[in-house]
Structure formats: structure tokens, C-alpha cells
Amino acid sequence: MVAMKIAIDYDYFPKEISALIRQHTQPLDKLIIYTCDPDWGGEDLFRSGRKGLSVMNLQSSPDHPTVRGLFDLLASPSDLRRLKELGYNRLVLVSESPVRFAVEAANPGSKRQRRYSPPTISPIVDSWPVIFRSEDLLIKEIP
């Protein structure tokens, strides 16, 4: 509860990331967003004033065959073609909030490491043009 309270009241990270997304994308862009925080990625879309699809996991779940993980979604030519047809033109990867990480890592006995967005997705996705890159945010153009 304390961690949630601190994250909600004092975490600057969602506001900062949303400002960067707003700065490096256009209002009509449609984003595919993955965030390492265990929250719904829609917060970054809402705060930045952008529309898009929030992908919750990197890997698909065998228990939920209709829920695609980011790796499978972007590796499937038919899924990627359909996403492009629907107007998705930007991929956004967001690392875990440093404030959230610090609050959780401060618990006694914690050996937790901060979660960063994946350094690689696939050879095809890795070759897409980079619009913006930092330790906490990667925005790529979907060609």
C-alpha cells in the first residue's frame, strides 16, 4: 500500500515519459506501446494524448491463446500487416519507473533489479528507424 501511495502521489516518471512521447510523435500517430511497469499502458497513451494499442506482455500466454505477446505480435507477418492496415505507425517501449523500482527495492531482503525495455525484439523490428532513444524510452517508426 505504501509503495502504491508513493507511486501514485510522487512518481514523476509517467508525466515525463508522456511528455517525451508527445514531443516525438504526432497527434495522428497510432502507437503500439509496451511498458515494463505492471500497469495498464493506456496511462501513457492517455497522458500523451495519443491513440494506440497497449501490449501487456512480451511473451504470449499459452493459457490465453487470443492474447498476443509483443514478440509474437511483431514477428507475425499477418499481424503486422493488419496493424499497418489499421494505421499503427510507431512502436513505443518504456522501461520501469525508477520511483516504483526504488520503492519496491527498498523492502528488506529485496534483490530486485530495475526492468528495462527489451534491448532486442527481432532482426526485422530491430532494423526499424529509431525516432527517439533513451535509457527509459524507445520510439521506432513502423515502416
Domain ranges of the chain: 2-141
35-57 pLDDT per residue, tens:
987 666 678 899 999 999 999 88
* Residues whose CB is less than 8 angstroms from the CB of residue 70 and which lie 6 or more positions away in sequence, other chains included: 32, 34, 55, 57, 58, 118, 121
Coil, strand or helix: which one is 16?
A: helix
Q: Is 99 exposed, middle or buried (0-12, 13-18, 19+ CB in 10 A)?
A: middle
pLDDT of residue 61: 81
pLDDT at 67: 79
